[in-house]
Structure 1
Amino acid sequence: MASVDLDPLLLLRQSISDGSAIIPTTSADTSSSGPPPEASLSQATHLQFTNPTRVSIPIDTPTRFVSNDEPVNLRSIYFAWLNREVAIPEYNASATKLNDELTGTAAVHKFAFVERLDLITWLESASEESEFIKPLAGEKDGAVPGAAGAAKATSKAAVVSASARAGRGTLDPRLAQIYDGERRMGDRNTVLRGIKPTDFSHVRKLAQPFMSRKPSPTATALINNPSLALNPKPARRPDPIILLSPSASSLLRMSNVKSFLEGGRYSPPDHNSAVSMLHVSRTMKEIDPTRPMRFILVEGPEQFKPEYWNRVVAVFTTGQTWQFKNYRWSNPAELFKHTLGIYLGWRGEQAPDAIRAFGHRVMPCSIEKWRDPTAPGAETSRWRDREVVEGIWKAIEGNMRAKGWRKDAAPSSI
């Protein structure tokens, strides 16, 4: 099997998609017919996959996921997946405990919250790209050397044949005859150069005199205006961030904000929910009418990097100033100069004095009081929720346009 097919990240993603078993074990042996004894992550030396073929990968193998310019090992990736629904403080505590149990130089990497969300989204096949995952060699430059290039270029039937030989022993002679009659397709490397690697390093010396000369007017124009280049690669737009209030008195928490902002219907929050972050999708027609934008929702900035603050587009607040203690701008008056504030309260009740003191920079919104759905007429008042939600999104979109959000870019500062 080609090295591309044994990529740990692709094996893990495929196993999650298929629901096949992923077993931490202390042995690399895959010859037994039954599953191996499962070991704890602190004792395991290999991670055994069962689909599309049984294979064991060393658990400390570096992957293509890069954090702070360092590849993250397979143990850390699998540990993050197992703890995907755990809150950030509990996840960090579990990682610290596992590091204490590990001996030697092995250690579990602690992901930042955006890295963790991006990884989980990619593993769940909800996204086909990730800013933290390096592309495979074949995807990056089309050059998969040697046998790996030939394996990527073979037909689907050849791959089935290889897996059949590995999994069921001798291949059916009639099926082998059919495979031998198929035409093998090649990529540009095998067609133009064959599978023998070619060294072009000498070309650099020949090109050096030309590269040191003054660039032509055309080259200068392309440097000054990259949009003139042929097929420019579009920049990846970062996801905007919405901060929620962690106060127990807040009407919107992580447990009910998704149904409110996406479905336009309010329901009481579940105060026992352990979700620490999630995302909602919304099409901002005045910014990008062709594709929906994904918004990241969190209750606190504990895992923020400095540049994440440029992506904050709204802050939900109850007026309690302790919410802003760990913010970049802890003074509410200064905070709401940089981003939109939103207060959600009950219709017919006056907003707190603190909200009124914040002035026009905080948008007050009111919804109908929650009533028991079994009570007569309880459902008739909930149709107003969507009207409130549309007003909130309109305000967020207007604030984003004013701060410099565009179809393919985010503001460098707010």
Structure 2
Amino acid sequence: MSAGETDALNLFRTSLAASSSPLPTRSADASSASDIAPLTEASHLLFNTQSAADGVQHTALSLKTATRFVSQTNGALDLASIFWCWQNKDKSTGDYIAATQELNTARSSNGLGEVRNLVFAEKLDLINWLSGENDSEFIKSLDDNRQTRAQAHDAAKMASGDGDVVMQDARAEDDKLRDIYALERKTGDRNSILRGSKPTYAEAFLGRSKASAPTPALITPAPAIRPAKPSSGRRPEPIILLSPSASSLLRLANVKSFLMDGVYTPPTSTTSTTLNILHVNRVMPSIEPTRPLRFILVESPDNFKPDYWNRVVAVFTTGQAWQFKGYKWSQPAELFSHALGVYVGWRNELLPDTIKGWGRGVLNVGIDAYREGQTAQQRWRDRETVEEIWSAIEASMRARGFNRETR
């Protein structure tokens, strides 16, 4: 199969499944071991795949090859960015970004193209797909690519008078390929859409008295009883769960100033710790660009009704598993397949073993140690960390089906 007919992502995934990781090379014709090169010097990626009919096949693709993985911020990623992401699959977000900057400096000095970063949720999605664990929300289907190519091909042939023949051939080929790749990607999402079946929250969760709730009017006759839509037309607010641990750097007392103002202060030096619920507003451009979403922040799910769990989009944790006792999903692996995990620790401190063990479903970020009397200007790096957290939450919400049309 020629390079032009090869789908880079499928070839990459197949190679990994066969325990044959691709190798970066200095040329398309890697005839000797000396052609194998670090990514700082490589221009191609060499795939060695085993075939029962043809034996070992060698396929070299340019690292500039565009793939079907379409990032929300970077567009269609090239093969170099895909390979680099896989190489750094076990690194934290901060280490991944730092390593990418160092790599791009070296590649630029060698006259080669730069690789692109992926936000946390996109990186996790890609790695899981390459590992064969799940489908991807960011990978364009093969049928979409074929249709685009067939339309361009047909247009050219129509101009030369051979349109009818070519259109028939293209459709026949598409039918065969569609059968081959029918099982490549499921139409459904394994995660539930982040919305509840009811448009309003329980009175206890909002801190209102049941006695103050208005009595709904009865309409007779009524073919069915349905929950009334909120008059504002807003979707139910997404929920962020915080850790109730005393060792957590972020509590209800200080999390609002951190997430909204981008400045960290210890929880004991801010507002009263008697709070049990907070609201923060944040514009999510890829979900609702015209107005901010309102997020509910709580430390305990004690007042949750079953549908509230469908609105949980992030869980902040210190790595202590007792936090999840009483959760709908008490096992970390299951919990972080439904909501983004977020660990916030001191910068340059060792990552807890539990966080490492919970895998790629937990975003790991660090903040500078706090010193009494620091100004907001001195804590400018906090803003970078906050933006990283919000970007990961937004990408995770998108990947799990929370979009502009979700109401």
Q: Given the two structures, how large is their TM-score scaled by the length of structure 2?
A: 0.44
**Larger RCO (alpha carbons 8 Å, 6+ apart):** 2
TM-score (norm 1): 0.43
Larger Rg: 1
